[in-house]
Amino acid sequence: MDRDTWTPPAAPAARGAGTVGTLYGSRLFLRPEHAAARATVETFLAGDGPVVWEIGFDHGIVLLDAARAHPDVRYLGAEIRRKRVEAVLPNAPPNCLPVRADARALVALIPDERLTHVLVQFPTPALHGHHWLFTPEVRDGWRRALAPGGSVTVQTDVPALVGWVDALFAGWGEGAAPPLGGASSRRARVCARDGLTVWTRSFLRPDAAHSR
Ligand SMILES: C[S@@+](CC[C@H](N)C(=O)[O-])C[C@H]1O[C@@H](n2cnc3c(N)ncnc32)[C@H](O)[C@@H]1O
């Protein structure tokens, strides 16, 4: 896949309710057999205080570093690759919950206005619409889950991806990046090593008055 010529895939045709393409289905965590996972996430998110949600944490470099640097902030992580999650889990401090999940299913467990930040660093430039994260439906899920003043931060080295997210978040203001610890993700390190241009965008959740 050539990052310079990549273009976003077409959205898959809708099939009833739910997000098409979500690993195990977008309503996975609402099924009775996943009650324990649901309870774990709900307990982690209970109460007040800032919550950062990192999607696609991969090796957990940024997630773990941020959680250690900010013990007063909770860090929820979603990653679809099981082995990555299993490797990160034993190293997670109490304010960090790495979950093996497709973010498009996990969002259902996040109460309205509970998050302060969503972070997506170097999202995969999907080749198929079923794997594509940056759809209006996913954006609206994040917006529902974000508190007033909350933001979505996206970092990428793919030119067409930054154009796409700029258009997707049109009408959102300029947001603040989440509190992090200073470590660079694996892809960020590759970009720095190879001198690649990296774009970082933070989009502020529109308030209700502006969003209708
Ligand atoms: C290109 S990698 C970037 C990893 C890391 N954030 C970095 O900056 O190096 C994208 C990551 O997102 C994960 N991912 C892709 N789609 C996802 C989804 N729907 N939910 C959760 N994780 C996802 C992939 O498994 C992969 O680890």
Q: What is the pLDDT of residue 5?
A: 87
For residue 182, give the amino acid letter. Answer: G
Is residue 5 in a domain?
Answer: no
Alpha-carbon distance of 162 to 25, in angstroms, equals 27
Mean pLDDT across the chain: 91
Average pLDDT over residues 67-94: 98
Q: Is the CB of 3 under 6 A from ligand 1?
A: no
Assign residue 88 a region (left: φ > 0; alpha: ψ between -120 and 50; beta: otherwise): alpha
Containing domain of residue 120, as a range? Answer: 28-211
Q: In what order do the strands lie in the sheet with 199-204?
A: 96-100, 74-79, 51-55, 115-121, 146-156, 199-204, 173-174
Q: Pull the structure tokens for residue 58.
A: 């991969």
Q: What is the pLDDT of residue 6?
A: 86
pLDDT band at 73 (very low <50, low <70, confident <90, very high): very high
Q: What is the pLDDT of residue 20?
A: 57
Examine the pLDDT at 211 and tell me if it is beyond 60: no
Is residue 117 in a domain?
Answer: yes
Q: Is the CB of 152 under 6 A from ligand 1?
A: no
Which stretch of 47-61, 86-100, 117-131, 167-181 has the lowest confidence by average pLDDT? Answer: 117-131
Is residue 146 in a domain?
Answer: yes
Residue ID of nearest Cα to ligand 1 atom 19: 102
Q: Is the CB of 19 under 6 A from ligand 1?
A: no
Q: What is the count of structural domains for the chain?
A: 1
Query: 128: how many CB neighbours lie within 10 A of its CB?
Result: 10
Average pLDDT over residues 64-86: 98
Q: Check residues 67 and 130 and name the one with the higher pLDDT.
A: 67
* Cα of 209 from ligand 1 centre, angstroms: 33
Is residue 102 in a domain?
Answer: yes
pLDDT tens readout for residues 25-57: 667 777 777 888 899 999 999 999 999 999 999
8 A C-beta contact, residue 148 and residue 112: no
pTM: 0.92
Which CATH number belongs to the domain containing residue 117 in this structure? 3.40.50.150
Is residue 129 in a domain?
Answer: yes
pLDDT tens readout for residues 154-190: 999 999 999 999 999 999 999 999 999 999 999 999 9
Examine the pLDDT at 18 and tell me if it is beyond 80: no
